Amino acid sequence: MNVAIVGAAGRMGGRLIQAVLEAEGLELSGATERPGHEKIGMDAGLVAGVGELGITISDDLNAVMADADVLIDFTFPDVTLNNLEICARQGKMMVSGSTGFTPEQRGLVEAYAANIPIVLAPNMSVGVNACFKLLKEAAKILGPDFDVEVVELHHNKKKDSPSGTAVRMGEVVAETLGRDYSQVANYHREGMCGERTKEEIGMQTVRGGDIVGEHTVYFIGMGERIEISHRAMSRDMFARGAARACQWLKGKQAGLYDMQDVLGLS
């Protein structure tokens, strides 16, 4: 399958290029950057540090997608939706690791998925998706008597808070316990805020330095505590997961999928 990559000149873009080059059955066919970017017109392989590939970074996604089967998009919701419109119009697939979608934006993604196959996941890491599965099992076993807190750490350039991965972790636990995440998530405690409620799920955020990503879910009972943690040491695992999602999409029907589907965990 031919793969195009959005944001090819960025840190994540370089990792994605390398992952696609290493993945069986995938070929890099195009690379884009935002209009006005200084790397427009340069060879995508040289920018990524993998050697000359003969693929020029473009600012015209419409033209790039003409030769691609699937687009990898790690951007922001507004950009992702614009890119989805182009993919849907051309009948191309998308793999997106963008986070921070509002419910309304998520609805637009679902509408596009009626026409094309889309893998949308807050985290493409195989390890993180294994954690989602473990959290579901832990919540089933421990039940409602354990307090649940989610703590996430990321670099100081991250724009959304809490991370999409942290939100999904909270959602998995809430769904398993029969709770509505939007009603029980507690993002802020300050001053005389009262005692912790039985059903709330605390969501705590740390930002600093160059932390790639760390997530810990605490199940806290009387006299004992269970912690399920994932720590990312580099962005390579996200890129490898995205490449794996592209491979999995081949031959799939239109629909909205996530990494649990890709890994057979759903």
Catalytic positions are 154, 158
Q: How far apart are the first and last CA of the chain?
A: 25
Element (H, E) at 230: strand 224-232
Dump the DSSP string for 70-86: EEEE-S-HHHHHHHHHH
Total H helices, total E strands in the chain: 10, 12
The one-letter amino acid code at 256 reads L
- Considering just the CA atoms, what is the radius of gyration of the chain in Å? 19
Contacts of 260 (CB under 8 A, 6+ apart): 129, 132, 133, 266
Q: Which residue has the tokens 């605490």?
A: 218
Residues 238 and 232: their CA atoms lie apart, in Å, by: 9
